Amino acid sequence: MDEIGLFPLNLVLVPGEQAPLHIFEPRYRELIGECLDFGNDFGLLLEDDEGMREVGTRCRVVEVIDRFPDGRLNVVVEATERFQLLEVTDRRAFRTAEVETLPDESDTPLEDEVEEVLAAYARVVAAAEADLEDLDLDADSVAYQIAARIDFGTEVKQGLLELRSERERVIKLAPMLNQAAEAVEREREIRTRAAGNGRVEPL
């Protein structure tokens, strides 16, 4: 169990994912300032109209892009590992909490399950004609790498974050990726038909 500063946002980062943040509120300038001064992590949690979630990721600042005279910062952060929220403590200007690491259960995906999710991912990338970095197939989680590259929205991403095994994530991702690929392919076909004759023919 550990106490860390919290940064609730309408954002989900999975382990290994990086994102830029603009730090402007005084309490979060204090939090990020301490992370920079002492090498601390902070806890990123999804917070939206439904409130603050109980599973988030520890993050560290990996780059300071801009420091403004009024104290604002543009930084790049990287998520490292998941945590479970135990108790919000509110001992500082920013929210704090007692948390514990949330490890995966030892349920690894089968080879054909991995092949299926990789094929579905490749289909999405091809349909979108996207230029994305190659996946590291030797890393702990292929699913997290895919979730960091494909924008499923915060709710879906939070659901993936809360799953307790890589196998669960891989199995859940494959059909979602195929649905995404179908949607992109349909959109491209409609655009092509419209450009070709000035009207969209029913599919």
pLDDT tens-digit map of 49-85: 999 999 999 999 999 999 999 999 999 999 999 999 9
Q: What DSSP assignment string belongs to 88-126?
A: E---SSS-EEEEEE-PPPS-PPPHHHHHHHHHHHHHHHH
Indicate whether 23 and 62 sit together in one domain. Answer: yes
Residue 168: predicted pLDDT: 97
Indicate whether 153 and 172 sit together in one domain. Answer: yes
Give the phi and the psi of residue 45 in degrees, each rounded to 5: -130, 140
| C-alpha–C-alpha distance, residues 58 and 53, integer Å | 14
Query: Of all residues in the chain, what percent carry a pLDDT higher than 70?
Result: 96
| C-alpha–C-alpha distance, residues 203 and 187, integer Å | 11
Indicate if the pLDDT at residue 191 is higher than 60: yes
Indicate whether 96 and 137 sit together in one domain. Answer: no
pTM for the whole structure: 0.89
Question: What is the torsional sign of CA 31, 144, 84, 175?
Answer: positive
Indicate whether 133 and 53 sit together in one domain. Answer: no
> How many CB atoms are closer than 10 A to CB 38?
7
Read off the pLDDT of each residue in 4-26 and give the average, rounded to a whole number. 97
Indicate whether 140 and 187 sit together in one domain. Answer: yes
Indicate whether 83 and 166 sit together in one domain. Answer: no
Kindly report, residue by residue over 118-136, the tens digit of the pLDDT.
999 999 999 999 899 899 9
Residue 47: predicted pLDDT: 97
| C-alpha–C-alpha distance, residues 159 and 137, integer Å | 22
Indicate whether 157 and 185 sit together in one domain. Answer: yes
DSSP-assigned beta bridge partners for residue 88: 97
Look-up: residue for tokens 């669960």?
168
Of 39, 70, 101, the position where a domain reaches its end is 101
Of 77, 101, 125, the position where a domain reaches its end is 101
What integer best gives the mean pLDDT of the chain?
93
Read off the pLDDT of each residue in 16-37 and give the average, rounded to a whole number. 97
Give the residue among 87, 74, 77, 80 at the shortest CA–CA distance from 2.
87
Residue at 36 is within a domain: yes
Query: Of all residues in the chain, what percent carry a pLDDT higher than 90?
Result: 85
Instruction: Determine the longest span between alpha carbons in the chain, in angstroms.
Output: 65
Residue 202: predicted pLDDT: 52
Of 53, 70, 101, the position where a domain reaches its end is 101
Range of the domain at 165: 111-197
The domain total for the chain is 2
Look-up: residue for tokens 């919000």?
88
| C-alpha–C-alpha distance, residues 115 and 4, integer Å | 38
| Residue 189 binned pLDDT confidence (cut-offs 50, 70, 90) | confident
Indicate if the pLDDT at residue 203 is higher than 50: no
